[in-house]
Amino acid sequence: MLKNKPQIATIIIAGILAGFLGAERLMEGQSRGGFPSRLTYAGSALWTKAHDISIEENLGYCAFLNGLVVLDLSDLKKPTLLSQLYLGGGYAIAVRQKTAYVAAGKEGLKIIDVSDPKSPLLKGGMDTNGEARDVALSKSYAFIADGAEGLVIIDISNPADPKTAGKWDSPGESMGIVVRDEVAYIADGSAGLQVVNVKDPAKATSVGACDTDGTAEDIAISGNHAYIADGSSGLKVMDISKPFAPRQIASLTTSGYCRGVSADGSLLGAGNLYDGGYQVIDISNPAAPVILATKKYTMYNESWNVVLRGNRLCVLDYFSGIGFFDLSAPDKPAMTGFFLTPSSIIAAAFQDQTVYAVGELSGLRVLDISDPLCLRPLAATNIFRGVHGLAVSGAYAYVTDRWSIRVFDVRNPSEARQVHAIRIPSGVPRTVVVKGSIAYLTADHAGLYIIDITDPRAAKILGNYPVPRFTYGMDIDGNFAYLANSDTGFHVVDIRNPASPKLRRSIKLEGEPCGVAVQGKNAYVTCGESGLYVVDISNPDAPKVAGSCATEDFANGIAVSGNFAYVTDGNAGIKKIDISRPESLRVVASFDTPGESTCPVLAGEFLIVPDAFSLFVFGKN
């Protein structure tokens, strides 16, 4: 069976159209695995996965999975987007003197000039070899919790030319860090709390440690105590009055997987995953912390992180955005505002300079792409569950979910609205392709449906070709439907008589066939971990493999234009493959998106790619 796509949620809040749609500078694509880098990044939108925020006056500088987001917080009831800058990663952020330092995951440390919050500029950066998960600033150094690589210390005296000043290889996986009085306190994953003397960055030395029984994810310090977000083991309190001999003095069960902590004075905020929401905790007596409030605020309540400053608590939710809460009464937190993000973006379609995108519990999003560098939001519908696919044709958009094809009137894209739902007798709707007045639908365990949509509100099923298991991919060309079934292979179906579609031939392919695009005499089929296959279909009764090409991860979606195929490769991003010689396919370009790329869509000279947690626009050449 094909790898499951993320099924994640969000909520509708006032200001839904304030998604992540700021202008960004054109930049060259990134490449991993030695591939040439020729795909050009043009822009991205609909960002989700907020990880951290640093508030300076009325501005919020945020680390998202895709990079930096700057919010205007002058009216907390309506936090608004000022700008965004794609960095390729973003887990934590620290801001000092109009400069933002972002721990950007596999992209290392990024240094951004934010003197003009409406136009942040990348100033410098450096790879840290590991996965930069947190950053702390002290004097002229940035201290990076670099995952399996431990602690990396970077000299930032010249932000445009940062240099490694020292390293310390921790016994676990460095996830969170606080630096105080020339001592670094590290939440070190499986190795609990690690204490490191960093007075001389070139000679960072361990001075103490205290293991925990969970997974140390984050750390906050107040007074002589460190508070550890210890994953499934909740909250741990450590006495660090003697840094060389830290000791645990308290443990508290939290409402979920404790992922983030933040302390200010006698209060501590805890962010919890797995529907755990957030908690406000009284730490006036560190040896006996007391839960004052446990709050759930959205559908899934995935609190990746929290930031507590005075009476303001910011909750960074994995899937719904950033919530702002007033703690004037700590036992009764009150929401003051919410910056909403989509939960996920898994499919897209293009028509008339307009991009349509859908995701699980994210609704149908409509964007103006007349300027690909600055996508502009037009509409966002109510959210719904079970999203699988999307097609747009003429006046209507068709979205498949687990139960139906939802039909949206998009004659005026800025007023998109659902007008009908087409039900099928059996199966789970998956991929839909529209040709004129006919919709072709694949459905799990039911195969291919052919539906008359002359009037979408009175749709009629004309015929069905049954196929067991999971038919994920489909293309229609002339008299034939070409199906990619993850279990039974590649099918050529004669659809000249819609009431009685008939199989002409099927062949098994290696891997899990899940995407197909037809051009000329060839069908191009993505086959999961087995990469891309080219099938010669010049004789529909005798299709045969003409070539293949391996990819890095899980080839799932495909679009073809001229001599190139664009293959979405799961966690390895997007690949551009030269198909001019089917017997000798070769990858000529790639771009590794931060999420899981799926279902590429051609849009003139551009390519639209959903990557589960945002929507990307690339130049094809």
Q: What percent of the chain has pLDDT over 70?
A: 94
- Can you read off the two tokens belonging to residue 552? 């890095």
Whether the predicted pLDDT of 14 surpasses 80: no
Q: Specify the amino acid at residue 408.
A: F
pLDDT attached to residue 4: 38
CB 313 within 8 A of CB 332: no
pLDDT in tens, 144-155: 999 999 999 999
Report all structural domains of the chain as residue ranges with CATH numbers, in order of start.
94-99+109-339 (2.120.10.30)
pLDDT in tens, 345-384: 999 999 999 999 999 999 999 999 998 888 999 999 999 9
- Can you read off the two tokens belonging to residue 146? 């670099």
Residues 6+ apart with CB under 8 A from 374: 21, 22, 23, 24, 43
- Residues pairing with 139 in the sheet: none
pLDDT attached to residue 620: 87
Find the radius of gyration of the CA atoms of the chain: 26
- Residues pairing with 602 in the sheet: 607
Cα 557 to Cα 431: distance, rounded to the nearest angstrom: 12
Mean pLDDT of 184-197: 98
Cα 501 to Cα 183: distance, rounded to the nearest angstrom: 72
Mean pLDDT of 10-17: 31
270: Cα separation from own chain's centroid = 23
Range 423-428, long-range pairs (CB < 8 A, 24+ positions): 424/449, 424/461, 425/461, 428/388, 428/402, 428/403
Q: How confident is the model at residue 37 (pLDDT cuts 50, 70, 90)?
A: low
Average pLDDT, the chain: 93
pLDDT in tens, 521-575: 999 999 999 999 999 999 999 999 999 999 999 999 999 999 999 999 999 999 9
Q: How confident is the model at residue 199 (pLDDT cuts 50, 70, 90)?
A: very high
pLDDT attached to residue 550: 97
Whether the predicted pLDDT of 1 surpasses 60: no
Q: How confident is the model at residue 425 (pLDDT cuts 50, 70, 90)?
A: very high
HEC letters along 108-177: CEEEEECCCCCCCEEEEEECCCCCECEEEEECCEEEEECECCCEEEEECCCCCCCEEEEEECCCCCECEE
pLDDT in tens, 111-169: 999 999 999 999 999 999 999 999 999 999 999 999 999 999 999 999 999 999 999 99
- Whole-Å CA distances, 304 to 63, 270, 275, 293, 327: 12, 9, 11, 17, 19
The pTM for the full model equals 0.92
pLDDT attached to residue 38: 62
CB 132 within 8 A of CB 103: yes
Whether the predicted pLDDT of 23 surpasses 60: no
pLDDT attached to residue 24: 41
Q: Which residue has the tokens 């099923």?
A: 461
- DSSP symbols for 282-328: E-SSTTS-EEEEEE--SSS--EEEEEEETTEEEEEETTTEEEEEE-S
pLDDT attached to residue 374: 86
Strand 564-568, strand 396-400: pairing = unpaired
The CA-to-CA distance between both ends of the chain, in Å, stands at 34
Whether the predicted pLDDT of 497 surpasses 80: yes
Q: What percent of the chain has pLDDT over 90?
A: 92
Burial (Cβ within 10 Å: 0-12, 13-18, ≥19) of residue 30: middle
pLDDT attached to residue 13: 30
pLDDT in tens, 287-323: 999 999 999 998 889 999 999 999 999 999 989 999 9
Specify the length of the chain in residues: 621
pLDDT attached to residue 290: 98
Mean pLDDT of 489-502: 98
Buried b (16+ CB within 10 A) or exposed e, 331-347: eebebebbbbbbbbbbb
Strand 40-45, strand 80-86: pairing = unpaired
pLDDT attached to residue 324: 98
